[in-house]
Amino acid sequence: MARRIRKAKVVVVGSSNIDMLVKTQRLPKPGETVIGGRFMSVLGGKGANQAIAAARFGARIHFISNVGWDKFGDQVIKSFKNERIKPDFIYRDENHPTGVALILIDGKGKNMISVASGANAFLKPYHVEHAESAFANATVAVTQLETSLDVLACTARLAKKHGIPLILDPAPAPDEPIPAEILRDVTCIKPNELEAERLTGIKVTDTQSALKAAAHLLDQGVKVVIVTLGENGCLLATTQSRGKHIPALVVDAVDSTAAGDAFCGVLAYGIGAGHPLNDAVDFANIAAGVSVTRMGAQPSLPTFKECAAFVKGIREQ
């Protein structure tokens, strides 16, 4: 794994949650109770996860988010300080609680997630505009869909204004189309199979269908499309090269909760540090593979050294 070319300066706009996890042998069916689970409470939220994933690879982070004036919000602020990330643009909401995610995980690491957005739903464009200095000093911007489309539009506008690439993780899967004028300002979009289907109407079941979905998104003006395919790795497509399949690491998965966030955060590090796109995707793929071998969202996010050691261990087998 190559070292960075320049210091990655990543501005992340997005959610911050407290995750309540229960790991059981299998996921319950509707109306069923499954006994014998293991409980954990950890920090999460797609935006926060991606910010910390990039930070653990060595990026300098500005994180723009909204949390409540409650003990969970205090935990979020403390965690970012522990990661040596200044919480300058983490706003405190007096009227709404910090977001909470309820997560069920089965014995193979597959999950089901329900989120009470809380203060995340009240992150507004004016919060993002107030943090414009973060965009002015960044080398890449990242956002997701756990906040509003208005926030996404504002983020895209500021990234374009300051000439930095924008990575969009379209998660959770959108119920309505993302406006074409926003997609045109997205440099890189990273959907999983379900999200790609929601965005394009093309059911993604394998590499070939992922290729069709990626082509659809490229035709809408996105420059780079990465469709993540779980244990089957990912598909990378650009306006110059419309299809490269990258296999996933072969690992014993215990929890896939933050795999996509590890991927997206480390991808942002790679792009922000000036690495070639193929290398940035390789870094991201490795980080996602390592993350699924650990429980919890933020506790699972690996450092650069941990990923390098993991790859070295595989090569020596």
Q: Phi-psi category of 195—alpha, beta or left, where left has phi over 0 and alpha has psi -120 to 50?
A: alpha
Query: Nearest 10 degrees: CA dihedral of 83, 68, 117, 133?
Result: -60
3-state SS class at 315: helix
d(CA 119, CA 99): 6
Q: How many CA atoms lie within 13 A of 302 on its CB side?
A: 24
**Which one from 70, 185, 261, 282 is the annotated catalytic residue?**
261
CB 262 within 8 A of CB 49: yes
Q: Which residues of 180-190 are buried (b: 16+ CB within 10 A; e: fewer)?
A: eebbebbbbbb
What is the pairing mode between strands 17-23 and 38-44?
A: antiparallel
d(CA 75, CA 144): 22
Q: How many CA atoms lie within 13 A of 206 on its CB side?
A: 1
DSSP per-residue string spanning 129-179 = HHTHHHHHT-SEEEE-SSS-HHHHHHHHHHHHHTT--EEE---SPPSSPPP
3-state SS class at 306: helix
205, two tokens = 């079941």
Match 């109770």 to its residue by tokens.
33
Q: Phi-psi category of 58—alpha, beta or left, where left has phi over 0 and alpha has psi -120 to 50?
A: left
Alpha carbon distances (Å) from 130 to 42, 80, 81, 231: 29, 20, 21, 40
Q: Does the active-site annotation cover 261?
A: yes
Residues taking part in catalysis: 261
